[in-house]
Structure 1
């Protein structure tokens, strides 16, 4: 996937929208509160695992890893406009949180992510 500096800067001009979307995804995949009674918590955990599985089946873990790699590479480039590095850092950090939320508490997704091929 190749992007020129203009395309990257255009994408980052929408960073508020991207960060709001990532914030919503973090909430969508957040663990249920521990203060809930046992039955309600188990029901919400089951619903959460179903969501996580659906996103995994659609390839979202792979897409998140690709996005993290994309933004990490861009953060190191010196051709970007001033102030863009901080936006890239914020987006990358939120992508990591979304990725963690997708695999937390879900053994299948966690093992898929942890396969040695992914870590190379």
Structure 2
């Protein structure tokens, strides 16, 4: 049965582009012919004129966690495989570039598993967060064209509510819980933090802070108190994304000078100090 593969954190679809090959396609360009795939139990060519049922037992079923299957682009007939490793050009580690090919490799088989509820929910949050923060930055960038921040209709209320929800989502386990429960919640928290970091959300938050500081002294700001509150919440979220996570703190450790430079802004000093504390405590690199 044909289907389309949607990348949850970006909303793009896996598809075959003539000029780019296998590629993540924007929703508005994701037509059926480009993005339709199907699972096959084997790479044997199907002959519509012959009965392909094995010993009259019916069409083989593909089951979660049990069956090996292959992914085929429906309209081209090409198989999802990987590009052979070039000794002179490696992506690093065990990463392989996915491509579509007429034959592929013997080890192209996939085992399907159901999405973990926690990871699926986190991926959805990443997608909505990236969309909102990117829109917010674009609105701020439009200041140079509009000439007045008040005329940009910045989604301050929406951004504020989103920041508060995300800070709560990354809240550390409360005291008074059993050691086992606390360890489980800490492990889940680190997975959330790692997913957000891998999708570039930490860098996006830093970009938002830079934009807010750039316009913080502008005389056109109508509500300075709300502006300062949003700046502080962005620092709170940044701290929540790296707190207790050595990998994320190490990723951010090279930005210590950037943090110290932000101490000049009194309205954000408490938020800056909170982030700085997380980095200095958790990252030996700092």
Does TM, normalized by the shorter one, top 0.5? yes
Q: Which has the higher strand share?
A: 2
**Contact 1:29 1:102 (C-alpha < 8 Å) held by counterparts:** yes
Deviation of 1:35 after TM superposition, in Å, equals 1.1
Give the number of the structure whose alpha-carbon radius of gyration is greater. 2
CA RMSD across the alignment:
1.8
1:16 alignment partner, one of 152, 157, 173:
157
**Contact 2:205 2:234 (C-alpha < 8 Å) held by counterparts:** yes
Q: Say if 2:168 is the partner of 1:32.
A: no
Deviation of 1:71 after TM superposition, in Å, equals 0.8
| Cα distance in 2, alignment partners of residues 8 and 114 from structure 1 | 37
2:210 alignment partner, one of 43, 50, 69:
69
| Cα distance in 2, alignment partners of residues 7 and 60 from structure 1 | 27
| Cα distance in 2, alignment partners of residues 42 and 33 from structure 1 | 11
Deviation of 1:9 after TM superposition, in Å, equals 3.8
Structure 1 unaligned runs (5+)? none
Match for residue 58 of structure 1? 199
Deviation of 1:15 after TM superposition, in Å, equals 1.7
Secondary structure at the aligned position of 1:36 is classed as: coil
| Cα distance in 2, alignment partners of residues 8 and 32 from structure 1 | 42
Deviation of 1:99 after TM superposition, in Å, equals 0.3
Structure 2 unaligned runs (5+)? 1-137, 259-286
